[in-house]
Structure 1
Amino acid sequence: MRSIAFFAGVVTTVAQQVYIPIDGPSSRPQCAANLTYANVTPAYSFRDFSFTQTETLRTATSIPAPTTSSNYAPPYASLSFLVPDLTTTQWGNWDPSVTASPMDLDDPYGNASWSALWTRIPIVNFTRGIYSSTVQPTAIPTSELVLPPPEYFTPSDCYYFPSEFMLGVSSSAVQIEGAIADEGRSPAYTDFFNALSSTSAPDFVTNENYYLYKQDIERIASMGVKYYSFSVPWSRILPFVLEGTPVNKQALDHYDDLVDFILEKGMLPTITLIHTDAPMLFYNNISDLSTTPGGIGYIDGGFQRSYKNQSFEDAFVNYGKVLMTHFADRVPIWFTFNEPLLGARNGKSIDAVLKSHARLAHFYREEINGTGKISMKLNDNFGVPRDPKDSVDVEAANHFNSFQLATFGNPIFLGLDYPDSYKMTVSDYVQLTAGDLAYINGTADFLGIDPYTATVITPPPNGTIEDCARNSSHPLWPYCVAQSTSTSTGWDIGYRSQSYVYITPTYFRTYLNYLWNTFKSPIVITEFGFPVFTEAEKELSDQLFDSPRSWYYQSFLSEGLKAIWLDGVKLIGAFAWSFADNWEFGDYDAHFGIQTVNRTTQERRYKKSFFDFVDFVESRRQKVV
C-alpha cells in the first residue's frame, strides 16, 4: 500500500510498504480458482516403475549479423571543425624496470614528459599481463552455449517486455582493461589504490580486455545480448588531459575498432565518458587520494579541481567533444558520468558535474545534431523506512533518497533547484540561477540508475537530521540517517551477498515507482548485479552454477515487469553488472560477473546466471508485428 503527497511538482513518498499482521501460513492466491484438492483424500496405488525424465537441450541464440547500419550523427570528417587544431601523436609503453630513458626532453608532450607522469607517484610491484597486442577472436563452440537446467521454482509472471526493451551488459575500463601504462595511457586515479593500501590488489592487469576485447564481444554477442556498455579512459585519449594537448592516435584507433567490432557482431555500443578514473594530473600528490571522511562521496573524483588554470569542467567538456565528434556517428547512447555523487567532495564538485553534463548534452544535440540518447548514471541503494507507518522513518527515507537522486534529478529532469536535503547539508553549494536551471533542464533523455539493493532507514539515533546536516564531522554525515539491513520484523531485508547487496526484489518495484513518479522520465537500469557469497572460494563448477545470482536477476526483472504493466512505469532497459568478474576497486574476490575469469590464463566461462538473465527477457519480449 502506498500513498503519495505532491509538493511543488515533486512527488514525495509517504509510505512504501505496510506490514500487515497475519497469523498462520502463507496464502496461495494463484490457487483460488482451483480448489479440487483442498478437501479430498489422495488415492494411493502401486504401478510399474520406469525412468521418465527427459533432458532438454537448448543453446543460446546469437545476435544475428546486421543487414543494415544506422548513423546517429555525421562522421568525424564532417564534425572535425567543432574540435579545431587537434593534433595526434603516439607514445610507447612505460615500465619502471627499463633503464633507458626517452631523449626528447625538449618536447613538452613527448615520451620523456609522458614517462614522467608515471614516475610522479611510485607504483609498487608493477606487472604486465600475458598479452601485448590485440587477440583475434574465435567462434564460441556450441558446447559452451548449452543452457543449464532450469530452477524448480521460477517466476510465474505472464507479462512481456516491449519489443524495443534494451537488454545489455555493463563494464568500465578501469575494472577490465588492464594495460594501464600501455600505448600512451597516462595515470588515472584508480591506478594508485595499491599505493594507498597494502591490502589492495592493483588494476595493472585486470581482465586484459584492452587486448581481449574482440573475444569478449564475441562471447557477449553469442549469448544474444544487444547492448554493450563500456567506458573510455580520458587519460588514454588525452594523456596530457587538457585542451590543446595532443590526442593519442593509438587510443582513437583502438576504440574505433572496438565500436566497429561491436556493430559487426550485431550489437550496439554505449559509451560512458568517466567511470571513477579521473586523470592523475588533477591531483597534486598521493595524499590527495585519501579516502578519509570529509567529502560528500567516499572518493575524490577530481570534479572540483583545476590544472594549469584549466578547470576540470572545461577540460572534461573538451574531452567529451573529442570523443563525441569521433564516434557519435556510430554510438546511439552516451553517459557523461557514472555515479558522480560518490566522487563529489563539495558543492563545487556537484556544480561542475551538472554544468559539464549540460554543456555536452547541448553540444551533442545542437552542434553535432546527434539523434541518439544522452544521460548519466546515478547511484542510490533505495532507502525504505523501517516502519512505513511511522512518519519520522518515512521522512528519513525521503531525505536519504532525495539527497542522492534529486540533487541531480531536480535540475536535469524537472528544471527545479536542488532539494532541501542537499542544501541543508552542503553549506558551500553553488546556487543555480534561473538561467542555469533553464540550460540544465531536459539534458537527459532517460534516467540511468544503478539500483543494486535496498537499505532500511531510520533517523539518527541521537539528535535530528537537521542537527547532523549542520555538522560535517557527525559520523552519519552527509546522509544523516541510520542505515540498516534489519526490518521492523527482525528479519534481514533479504538474502545477503559477498558485499553490501541483498536480494530485495519487492522493493525494486517500489523504487521504480518512486523514480518514475518523482522525475517523470523513462528509466534504464544501467547497472545491477549480485556477488554470490564466498564465490571466489568455490570450485569452478560451483561458481558456474550460481543460482543466487539467477534469483537476483529474475526476481528483480519480474518486479520490473509488474511496474511496467500494473503501475504504468516506463522502464526501457536493463544492463547486468558485470559481463565478467572484474577488479572491484582493490578486490578480485567480490565476483559480480556473469562469467568467470581465470586470473592466470584469462579464460572466460559462462555462468548459469548469464543464460537465465538473457532467457528471462527474451522469452518475454514482444514480437515486432
Structure 2
Amino acid sequence: MRMASIAALGLAIATQAQEIYLTTTGYTTRPQCTKSTASPSYHFQPFSYSLKETVRYATSIPSPTTTKTYAPVYEDAAKHLRTTVSTSSWGNWLPGQTVISATDSSNPYGQAAWSSMWLNAGLQNYTTTGIFSTTVSPTPVPTSELVLPPRDYFGPTDCYNFPDDFIFGVAGSAAQIEGAVALEGRSPSLLEKFASASCPKDYVTDENYFYYKQDIERLAAMGVEYYSFSIPWTRILPFVLPGTPVNKQAIDHYNDLIDTVLDAGMQPVVTMLHFDSPLVFVASDNIDRVPIWVTFNEPLLYAFNFQGVDNVIHAHAQVYRFYHEELKATGKMSLKLNDNFGVPKNPKNNSDIDAANRFNEMQLAFFADPIFLGKQYPDSILHTLPGARQLNKTELKFIGQTADFFAIDPYTATVVSPADEGITACAANKSSSNSLFPYCVNQETKNVYGWNIGYRSESYVYITPTYFREYLSYLWNTFRHPILVSEFGFPLWKESEKELSDQRYDSTRSTYYLSYMSEILRAIHEDGVHVMGALAWSFIDNWEFGQPSQFGIQGVDPKSQERFYKKSFFDLVDFVKARQR
C-alpha cells in the first residue's frame, strides 16, 4: 500500500476507536455489547403495524423516612457568628414606589433604608411583577407529559456502570431563574445594575421564587437525584454586612425549599455566591440538611486580577474552616472553577504545549494550587499579573487543603497556541495594550487542520467529548481530588426561534450530554479518574444574562410560565438509569 493509504487506514481505525456519538433514548435494559455471527435466514411472515411509543412513568425516589443532618441547626450555628444579628422582614419595591412612602427614616435598617437602596440603584421604573405573588402549590405531573420521545437510531455502546455513590442531578442559579428581584426583602445586586441596558433583565425570569415547589415536582417525576441551586446573598442579608439584620422571610423561604427537595427524595447542592454580589457591598443560612456546599461560582469570570483572586481564595478558606472546624459540620465543601480546557493546537509542537499549560495554569492553578495542594501561586501568575505577590507560610497553611472535591464547569475546549510575538515578550510588557495579555496565547475553535473543534452551539460551547475525557484526567492527576462536574450543557443554535415541537426535539443537545456522560464512564473505568458526579446545566431555560442562548433541558413559556420537557432530559435520565447497578 502507498503511504497515503496506510495513513488513511490508520486515521479510520483511530476514528473507530474514538467512536461517533449519537443519541438514543428509552433503554430499559443495557445495549448489547457483542456482535452476532449467525448467518441470516430469509423468510416471509405476516406483517402488522406496531406501536413504537412507550410511556415513561414517574420514577422519583421515595420520600425519606428520616432526614440526615450534616451540621448544627440554624439557631445553634448562628451562635458561632462573631456579631449578633436580629431578624426583620421588609416589603416589596414595586413600580412607582419611592422611599417617601416609608415613614421609618430614622431606622438605619428599616423599610425606608431598604427602599432607598433600590432608589439609589436607579431601577425604580422597571417591571418587577410576574404572574405569581405567592408560593404556588405543586400538582402531580400528568402521565401525558412523561411519554418517551421517539428513539434515535444510534447511541452509545459502552458496557460500564456508574459507581454506587455517583451523584447525578441538574443545576440552576437564583439570579437566572428566581425573578422576584425586589420582592420580600431582597436588595439590589450587581446583575440588576450592570447587565447591558439593551438586554432583557432578570426581574421575572422563570418565577422560580414562587414556583419552586412545582419545579421540584417536575424534577422528581423524571427521577432526578440531586438539585443544585444558589441562595442570593441579598435575600439573606439585604444590608450585606455582618451584624445587619437577617431577612426572616428569606430564611423561611430557603428552609422550605430545602425541605421540599428532601421531601421529594432528592438531595440539595447549595452555592453561596453565583454572580449576584450585593450592589452595596457572607451568607448565613440553612446548613444542617445540605450535604454539598459551594462557596463561589466561577470566580474567574469576575475576579481575574491578582487582588480579586487573592481575596476569593482567602474568603473561601475562611468559610471552609468555619464550616468544618467551628461548626464541626460533616458535609462537603468546595468552590466551582471554570476553564474551557486549553488543548495545544499541535500536540507535537512544544511551543503549543507550553501555551496550553500556561492557559490552564492561569485559569485553574491560580485558584487550585493554594487551595487543593497548599502550593504557591504559579510562576506564570507571579511573573505576569500586576501586583502579584507570594503567599507566606502562614497563608499557605491556612488555605491549603480547604476543599473536599474539585468542582468544575467544563462546557467545552479551546485550541491554544502562543502569542505571535511569543509568550515571554507578551508577558513582559505589563502596560501593553495587547489583547492577548495576560494569558499571552491565541485561543481559537479550529484544530491544526482547519476543522471546528466540534459541533457548534449558539454560544461558545462546542461538542468536544474526547477532549472532555482528557480534561478529567488532567484535573484528577494534577489536583488529586474527586471531581464534580458541577455544570455542563449545550445551547442549540437559534433554538428560541424554532416552533415548540422542534424545541422539544433537541437531539443535538442529547448528543452533547450522552457523549460527555460516556466519556465520564470511560474516564472512571479506563483511566482511573474519580469522577464523583455530574450536574446538567440547566434544568430549565433561564435568564442567560440577557443573551438568547437556551441551555435548558426543559423549556418555559414566559407568558404563562408553563414548562415542557425536552427530549434531552429523557435521554440523559435514561442513559444514567440504565447504567446504575
The two structures share one fold, judged by TM-score above 0.5: yes
- Residue 272 of structure 2 is matched in structure 1 by 273
- Residue 364 of structure 2 is matched in structure 1 by 405
Cα offsets for 1:350-401 (capped at 9, x unmatched): 1111111111111111111111100000000101111100001111000001
Taking the aligned partners of 1:488 and 1:410, their CA distance within structure 2 comes to 31
- Residue 116 of structure 1 is matched in structure 2 by 116
Taking the aligned partners of 1:521 and 1:236, their CA distance within structure 2 comes to 33
AA aligned opposite 1:86:
V
- Residue 436 of structure 1 is matched in structure 2 by 395
Taking the aligned partners of 1:43 and 1:63, their CA distance within structure 2 comes to 45
- Residue 95 of structure 1 is matched in structure 2 by 94
Q: Secondary structure at the match of 1:461?
A: coil
- Residue 22 of structure 1 is matched in structure 2 by 8
- Stretches of structure 2 that go unaligned for 5 or more consecutive residues are 1-5, 20-31
Contact 2:61/2:225 (8 A) holds in 1? yes
- Residue 260 of structure 1 is matched in structure 2 by 259
Contact 2:55/2:146 (8 A) holds in 1? no
Taking the aligned partners of 1:65 and 1:51, their CA distance within structure 2 comes to 41
Cα offsets for 1:486-539 (capped at 9, x unmatched): 111221001000100000001011000000000011000000000011100001
Q: Secondary structure at the match of 1:528?
A: coil
AA aligned opposite 1:63:
I
- Residue 562 of structure 1 is matched in structure 2 by 522
Contact 2:540/2:551 (8 A) holds in 1? yes
AA aligned opposite 1:225:
V
AA aligned opposite 1:218:
E
AA aligned opposite 1:536:
S
Cα offsets for 1:107-131 (capped at 9, x unmatched): 1111111111011132253332111
Taking the aligned partners of 1:542 and 1:35, their CA distance within structure 2 comes to 36
Q: Does 1:365 align with 2:299?
A: no
Contact 1:468/1:474 (8 A) holds in 2? no
- Residue 128 of structure 1 is matched in structure 2 by 129
- Residue 581 of structure 1 is matched in structure 2 by 541
Taking the aligned partners of 2:403 and 2:35, their CA distance within structure 1 comes to 49
Contact 1:73/1:371 (8 A) holds in 2? yes
Cα offsets for 1:411-449 (capped at 9, x unmatched): 111110111222222121242111111111111000000
Cα shift at 1:226: 1.0
Cα shift at 1:96: 3.8
- Residue 316 of structure 1 is matched in structure 2 by none
Taking the aligned partners of 2:260 and 2:235, their CA distance within structure 1 comes to 20
Q: Secondary structure at the match of 2:193?
A: helix
AA aligned opposite 1:532:
L
Contact 1:512/1:569 (8 A) holds in 2? yes
Taking the aligned partners of 1:464 and 1:77, their CA distance within structure 2 comes to 54
- Residue 171 of structure 1 is matched in structure 2 by 172
Contact 2:103/2:112 (8 A) holds in 1? yes
- Residue 202 of structure 1 is matched in structure 2 by 201
Cα offsets for 1:462-503 (capped at 9, x unmatched): 343552464353211222211111111221001000100000
Contact 1:494/1:503 (8 A) holds in 2? yes
- Residue 534 of structure 1 is matched in structure 2 by 494
Taking the aligned partners of 1:229 and 1:54, their CA distance within structure 2 comes to 35
Q: Secondary structure at the match of 1:26?
A: helix
Change over 3 Å in CA distance of 1:34–1:470 after alignment to 2: same
Q: Secondary structure at the match of 2:555?
A: strand
AA aligned opposite 2:328:
N
Change over 3 Å in CA distance of 1:509–1:190 after alignment to 2: same
Taking the aligned partners of 1:501 and 1:604, their CA distance within structure 2 comes to 25
Taking the aligned partners of 2:8 and 2:166, their CA distance within structure 1 comes to 38
- 1:23-102 correspondence runs (5 A): 23=9, 26-27=12-13, 49-51=47-49, 54-83=52-81, 84-98=83-97, 101-102=101-102
- 1:228-243 correspondence runs (5 A): 228-243=227-242
AA aligned opposite 2:257:
L
Q: Secondary structure at the match of 2:8?
A: coil
Q: Does 1:475 align with 2:450?
A: no
Cα offsets for 1:447-469 (capped at 9, x unmatched): 00000000111111234355246
Change over 3 Å in CA distance of 1:370–1:469 after alignment to 2: farther
Q: Does 1:159 align with 2:160?
A: yes
- Residue 491 of structure 1 is matched in structure 2 by 451
Stretch of structure 1 that moved more, 450-459 or 78-87: 78-87
Q: Secondary structure at the match of 1:432?
A: coil
Contact 2:295/2:316 (8 A) holds in 1? yes
Taking the aligned partners of 1:85 and 1:471, their CA distance within structure 2 comes to 45
Q: Does 1:144 align with 2:153?
A: no
Q: Secondary structure at the match of 1:337?
A: strand
Taking the aligned partners of 2:122 and 2:76, their CA distance within structure 1 comes to 43
Taking the aligned partners of 2:169 and 2:580, their CA distance within structure 1 comes to 14
Q: Secondary structure at the match of 1:509?
A: helix
Cα offsets for 1:204-254 (capped at 9, x unmatched): 101111100111111111111111111111111111101111111111111
Q: Secondary structure at the match of 2:404?
A: coil
- Residue 23 of structure 2 is matched in structure 1 by none
Taking the aligned partners of 1:422 and 1:561, their CA distance within structure 2 comes to 34
Cα shift at 1:85: 1.6
- Residue 187 of structure 1 is matched in structure 2 by 188
Task: Quote the RMSD (CA, aligned, Å).
Answer: 2.2
Contact 2:483/2:532 (8 A) holds in 1? yes
Taking the aligned partners of 2:535 and 2:41, their CA distance within structure 1 comes to 50
Change over 3 Å in CA distance of 1:430–1:135 after alignment to 2: farther
Contact 1:531/1:592 (8 A) holds in 2? yes
Cα shift at 1:64: 1.4
AA aligned opposite 1:175:
Q
Cα offsets for 1:304-357 (capped at 9, x unmatched): xxxxxxxxxxxxxxx23x22xxx2211111100000111115222111111111
Contact 2:352/2:416 (8 A) holds in 1? yes
- 1:343-422 correspondence runs (5 A): 343-422=302-381
Cα shift at 1:77: 3.1
Q: Secondary structure at the match of 1:169?
A: strand
Taking the aligned partners of 1:32 and 1:137, their CA distance within structure 2 comes to 42
Runs of 4+ in 1 over 6 A off after TM superposition: 29-35, 42-48
Cα shift at 1:68: 2.3
- 1:598-617 correspondence runs (5 A): 598-617=557-576
Change over 3 Å in CA distance of 1:125–1:54 after alignment to 2: closer
Q: How many residues align?
A: 557
- Residue 405 of structure 2 is matched in structure 1 by 446
Contact 2:54/2:147 (8 A) holds in 1? no
Contact 2:385/2:430 (8 A) holds in 1? no
Taking the aligned partners of 2:7 and 2:477, their CA distance within structure 1 comes to 29
Taking the aligned partners of 1:126 and 1:466, their CA distance within structure 2 comes to 51
- Residue 552 of structure 1 is matched in structure 2 by 512
- Stretches of structure 1 that go unaligned for 5 or more consecutive residues are 1-19, 283-318
Change over 3 Å in CA distance of 1:43–1:146 after alignment to 2: closer
Stretch of structure 1 that moved more, 125-134 or 607-616: 125-134
Taking the aligned partners of 1:133 and 1:347, their CA distance within structure 2 comes to 44
Taking the aligned partners of 1:521 and 1:612, their CA distance within structure 2 comes to 29
AA aligned opposite 1:568:
G
Taking the aligned partners of 2:533 and 2:523, their CA distance within structure 1 comes to 13
| Structure-1-length-normalised TM-score | 0.85
Of structures 1 and 2, the one with the larger relative CO (CA 8 A, separation 6+) is: 2
Q: Secondary structure at the match of 1:115?
A: helix
Stretch of structure 1 that moved more, 515-524 or 148-157: 148-157
Cα shift at 1:25: 8.0
